């Protein structure tokens, strides 16, 4: 009898250690320029112990009802995040925390997106026991309008319940089966991910699956996500997105990725070293290079993917008094700002300041050219900038308003989220919703029907200029020779006539 009880107890402990938590979706490299057909949607979750090869993802086509068992036929990986080992030689900080991160990559050989784009999925054990779910994911499609949620600066401690209303709003979207193609998170989670022996971050993982199990979560890292050694260890292991290894260095850990969702090209970048003026290893030029190369490709593809949206944690223009970044980010980020103008970026999203703020199109600390009719922006020469940092956090002041500034159109300190709806190739709608009452308190349209974009990079432009100059020189040369020929012919004719008359 005692033996049976021990077996049951050990089985219960093992079951708990292999219980998935923090279920979250990410878009895979099918949506980056790699177009990897075996990396469409990533299903990621954590367990307390390794539990490797103990899970099967069961996927059901919501259109046909067909059940697909996806395990060994797709990519599956288990990764250990051992914060104890990472900090064992750190002189000031020591952790006793580890977690195991499981990643399933669903590819086009597993599902048929030409027949259906909506699927339910369940995490089950090899003993056919349901461990977590069922959940749902939708595959973004270019032929439909796209909808994205954007917010940032949110924790899940609920000590003062500052983020609870945002969680409740997101949970209601899931329960109502509202379709969004992705969540753009503008940085700063949990406050901070590695605090309290990483329990703060672990608690964040356990709570956010309310909405990340339904909508792909594409996060920009914030300054509260970078950890005690400033290497973003917890963030990168749990939220690492579409990083490309060719730019990776010891000090630059791929602070850049991009992806397409339907008619929108999204770019995320992390200029933390530039805005805090501690770029000891001169990393910023690497990110600028990636940004330029990416924008060149995006402009070549603009007929297929007409919109370009950049998001990050850091605003270029904000209004917090005596804040160095609000005063100087337009200088610190000037190399990026120049690229946004050159390649006609449409929208710039950020967080960091705990408020909602929409700015006019601005460039080099002055108003850029644009037309505005009611809430419709057109012929803008620089992206409209929006701060979505009102997700709710126990950290810092709450519901603060800041002095009116020349670049500011509207601000609202109440907790809220933004929703982007891409209607077609020329019209995009943005609205900001206060989550406590589910009211739209600000909205704008972007009309890019009259905006001309160039597909040519600097080298090609230079080649065309040289070609044009050569054509002009050739034309002048031909004209000169032709004219000289006529003069010579006339001279010979005159001499002949003179000789004949004589």
C-alpha–C-alpha distance, residues 185 and 15, integer Å? 32
- Asked whether 328 and 202 are in contact (CB, 8 A), the reply is no
397's tokens: 């002041």
- R_g of the chain computed on alpha carbons: 28
Asked if 183 contacts 174 with a C-beta cutoff of 8 angstroms, the reply is: no
3-state percent breakdown (helix, strand, coil) of the chain, nearest 5: 30, 30, 45
The strand pairing partners of 135, in sequence order, are 121
The secondary element (H helix, E strand) that includes residue 441 is: strand 439-447
DSSP 48: S
Listed residue (88, 87, 83) closest to 100, CA to CA: 83
pLDDT of residue 485: 53
Helix (H) or strand (E) holding 446: strand 439-447
d(CA 78, CA 128) in angstroms, rounded, equals: 20
> What pLDDT, on the 0 to 100 scale, is given for residue 73?
65
Q: How far apart are CA 260 and CA 448, in angstroms?
A: 18
The DSSP call for residue 115 is T
**Per-residue pLDDT for the chain (502 aa), expressed as one digit of tens each?**
444 443 433 444 457 899 999 999 999 999 999 999 999 999 999 999 999 889 999 999 999 999 988 876 678 899 999 999 999 999 899 999 999 999 999 999 899 998 889 999 999 998 999 999 999 999 998 777 999 999 999 998 778 888 999 999 999 999 999 999 999 999 999 999 999 999 999 999 999 999 999 999 999 999 999 999 999 999 999 998 898 888 888 889 899 999 999 999 999 999 999 999 999 999 999 999 999 999 999 999 999 999 999 999 999 999 999 999 999 999 999 999 999 999 999 999 999 999 999 999 999 999 888 999 999 999 999 999 999 999 999 887 777 889 999 999 999 999 999 999 999 999 999 999 999 999 999 999 999 998 876 555 444 444 433 444 444 454 545 444 455 555 544 553 344 334 333 3
The three-state DSSP-derived secondary structure of 119-188 is: EEEEEEECCCCEEEEEEEEECCCCCCCEEEEEECCECCCCCCCCCHHHHHHHHHHHHCCCCCCEEEECCC
Give the C-alpha separation, 356 to 198, whole Å.
Answer: 29
Report the side by side order of strands in the sheet with 55-61: 67-70, 55-61, 118-125, 130-138
Distance CA 218, CA 212 (A): 10
Alpha-carbon torsion (17, 21, 25, 26), positive or negative: negative
Half-sphere exposure of 233 (CA within 13 A, CB side): 19
- What are the φ/ψ torsions at residue 405 (nearest 5 degrees)? -130, 160
Contacting residues for 234 by C-beta, under 8 A, at least 6 apart? 81, 83, 193, 194, 198, 201, 225, 227
CA distance 257 to 353: 23
Nearest to 221 by CA among 315, 293, 152, 157: 152
Q: Residue 471, Cβ neighbours under 10 Å: how many?
A: 10
- Cβ atoms of 237 and 227 within 8 Å: the answer is no
**How many other C-beta atoms can be found within 10 angstroms of the C-beta atom of residue 479?**
10
For 290-392, where are the E strands, in sequence order?
Answer: 307-311, 347-350, 356-359, 362-363, 366-367, 371-373, 376-378, 384-388
Q: What is the pLDDT of residue 159?
A: 82
DSSP state of 230: S
Strands 41-47 and 347-350: unpaired
Supply φ then ψ for residue 154, to 5 degrees: -145, 140
What residue ranges define each of the domains in the chain, with the CATH number in brackets?
Answer: 23-139 (2.60.40), 143-455 (3.60.21.10)
pLDDT score, position 472: 41
What is the bridge-based pairing of β-strands 384-388 and 376-378? unpaired
Closest CA to 365 of 411, 413, 315: 315
Question: What's the CA gap between 439 and 437, in Å, rounded?
Answer: 5
pLDDT of residue 14: 52
Residue 209 and residue 24 in contact, taking contact as beta carbons nearer than 8 Å: yes
Token pair belonging to 497: 């006539």
- Cβ–Cβ < 8 Å for 293, 33: no
Residue 408 CA neighbour count, 13 Å, CB half? 18
User: Residues 188, 154: contact at Cβ < 8 Å?
Assistant: yes
């Amino acid at each position: 009898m005692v033996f049976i009880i021990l077996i049951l107890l050990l089985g219960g402990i093992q079951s708990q250690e292999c219980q998935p938590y923090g279920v979250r979706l990410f878009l895979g490299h099918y949506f980056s320029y790699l177009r990897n057909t075996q990396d469409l949607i990533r299903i990621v979750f954590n367990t307390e112990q390794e539990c490797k090869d103990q899970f099967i993802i069961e996927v059901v086509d919501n259109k046909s009802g067909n059940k697909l068992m996806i395990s060994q036929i797709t990519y599956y990986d288990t990764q250990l995040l051992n914060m104890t080992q990472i900090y064992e030689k750190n002189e000031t900080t020591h952790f006793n925390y580890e977690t195991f991160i499981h990643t399933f990559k669903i590819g086009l050989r597993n599902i048929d997106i030409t027949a259906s784009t909506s699927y339910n999925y369940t995490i089950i054990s090899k003993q056919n026991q349901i461990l977590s779910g069922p959940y749902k994911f939708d595959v973004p499609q270019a032929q439909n309008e796209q909808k994205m949620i954007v917010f940032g600066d949110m924790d899940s401690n609920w000590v003062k319940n500052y983020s609870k209303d945002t969680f409740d709003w997101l949970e209601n979207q899931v329960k109502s089966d509202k379709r969004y193609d992705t969540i753009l998170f503008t940085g700063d989670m949990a406050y901070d991910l590695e605090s309290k022996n990483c329990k703060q971050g672990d608690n964040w993982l356990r709570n956010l699956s309310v909405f990340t199990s339904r909508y792909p979560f594409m996060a920009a890292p914030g300054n509260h996500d970078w950890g005690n050694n400033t290497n973003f260890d917890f963030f990168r292991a749990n939220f690492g997105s579409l990083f490309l290894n060719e730019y990776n260095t010891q000090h630059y850990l791929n602070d850049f990725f991009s992806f397409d969702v339907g008619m929108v090209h999204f770019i995320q970048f992390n200029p933390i070293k530039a805005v805090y003026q501690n770029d000891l290893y001169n990393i910023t030029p690497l990110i600028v290079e990636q940004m330029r190369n990416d924008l060149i490709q995006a402009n070549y593809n603009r007929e297929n993917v007409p919109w370009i949206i950049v998001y990050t944690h850091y605003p270029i223009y904000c209004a917090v008094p005596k804040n160095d970044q609000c005063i100087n980010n337009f200088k610190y980020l000037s190399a990026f700002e120049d690229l946004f103008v050159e390649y006609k970026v449409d929208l710039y999203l950020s967080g960091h300041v705990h408020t909602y703020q929409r700015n006019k199109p601005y460039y080099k600390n002055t108003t850029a050219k644009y037309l505005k009719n009611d809430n419709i922006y057109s012929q803008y020469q620089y992206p409209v900038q929006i701060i979505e940092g009102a997700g709710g956090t126990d950290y810092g002041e709450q519901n603060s308003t800041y002095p009116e500034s020349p670049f500011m159109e509207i601000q609202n300190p109440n907790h809220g989220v933004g929703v982007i709806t891409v209607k077609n190739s020329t019209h995009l709608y943005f609205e900001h919703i206060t989550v406590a009452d589910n009211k739209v308190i600000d909205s704008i349209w972007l009309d890019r029907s009259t905006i001309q974009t160039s597909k040519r990079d600097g080298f090609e432009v230079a080649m065309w200029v040289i070609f044009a100059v050569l054509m002009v020189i050739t034309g002048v040369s031909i004209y000169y020779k032709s004219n000289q020929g006529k003069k010579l012919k006339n001279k010979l004719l005159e001499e002949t006539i003179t000789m004949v008359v004589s």
